[in-house]
Amino acid sequence: MPDTAPTFATVRHDWTKTEIAALFDLPFMELVYRAATVHRQHFDPSEVQLSQLLSIKTGGCAENCGYCSQSAHHDTGLKASKLMPVDEVLSAAKAARDGGAQRFCMGAAWRDLKDRDVPALSQMIAEVKALGLETCATLGMITPDQARALKDAGLDYYNHNLDTSPEYYESVVTTRTYQERLDTLEAVREVGMKTCCGGIVGMGETREDRVSFLHQLATLPAHPDSLPINNLVPVSNTPLGELSKIKGGVTPVEFVRTVAVARILCPKSMVRLSAGRNEMSEELQALCFLAGANSIFVGNQLLTTPNPERGSDAFLLQSLGLRPMAAS
């Protein structure tokens, strides 16, 4: 008889890869049951946080991430833009709030944040925060001083994904090291700001890589407060977009397994069902919620990739008996 699910609700930072691999190997129903039980011990399973993401500076990124349409290394036809004016960002944030979003995320296609941009970003963050929204930003690598300035402006979360396992990492990007990603997360934690850190599945990695990726997250000094799980959206003329045409992505069941294991390993994290939802069936999304996902991005676009329309999301949540999470 397998161990009961409640034993998995304890917050641990000493998970081994062997233990995590064993979770992946559980019968699907047992794994989802355990994850659902852990979820209920820390969250209301009927609530889903609604987030909205805005690209505040698009394209022209110096990184060579193999999945990204915004990389200057790939000919995807995307035109680079400058940092959006504060008033335009504020207008988008108001529309997001009025549309039901509780969280507003701002993303800039930079390798690293430059000090010259900090004042404008600080004003942007402060004004979005004043709308009553939870704030998040992803701006590339940042220093401890920059992290302090953003936190002082009212930034709640900083997003910096690990993307994949250390072993598969160089198949995804070579212009930034894995350690540099960990260093940015440490800079964010040092100033007391919450971390948003996850990755992407379906990039040609193996299950062993997914085990190693989640092991990295589960053994951080503090679990990510927000843990986005993205399903690769293949972009033509990107290395991983082209690879996906040959190898395909993960199966729906394997994707749910990844969500479920993430929930068990990081029981208090907000597990965010992020990129790739536009290609997911309602049934697959429902299984992800059952397995512990409790946040989605709303709005028609995620940075540069399509996202389900707000009306279809509202219908999905209503049909599942889910409701937007109350503002914290």
Q: Which residues are catalytic?
A: 61, 65, 68, 105, 136, 196, 272
DSSP 279: G
Counting DSSP H helices and E strands in the chain, the numbers are: 11, 12
User: Is 197 assigned a ligand-binding role in the annotation?
Assistant: no
Distances 116 to 23, 109, 147, 265, 291 between C-alpha atoms, Å: 46, 16, 14, 39, 43
Distance, CA of 198 to chain centre:
5
| Cβ–Cβ under 8 Å, residues 65 and 173 | yes
Question: Other C-beta atoms within 10 Å of 201: how many?
Answer: 23
**Does the annotation flag 272 for ligand binding?**
yes
Apex 138 CA angle, 224 and 93, nearest 5:
105
C-beta of residue 107 within 8 angstroms of C-beta of residue 55: yes
How far is the C-alpha of 289 from the C-alpha of 296, rounded, in Å?
Answer: 10
196 is in an annotated binding site: yes
- 68 marked as part of a ligand binding site: yes
Q: Report whether 123 contacts 102 (CB < 8 A).
A: no
Helix axes 282-290, 28-42, angle to 10 degrees: 60
Structure tokens at 93: 């944030």
136 is annotated as contributing to ligand binding:
yes
Q: Known binding site for [4Fe-4S] cluster: residues?
A: 61, 65, 68
Q: Known binding site: residues?
A: 61, 65, 68, 105, 136, 196, 272
Q: Known binding site for [2Fe-2S] cluster: residues?
A: 105, 136, 196, 272
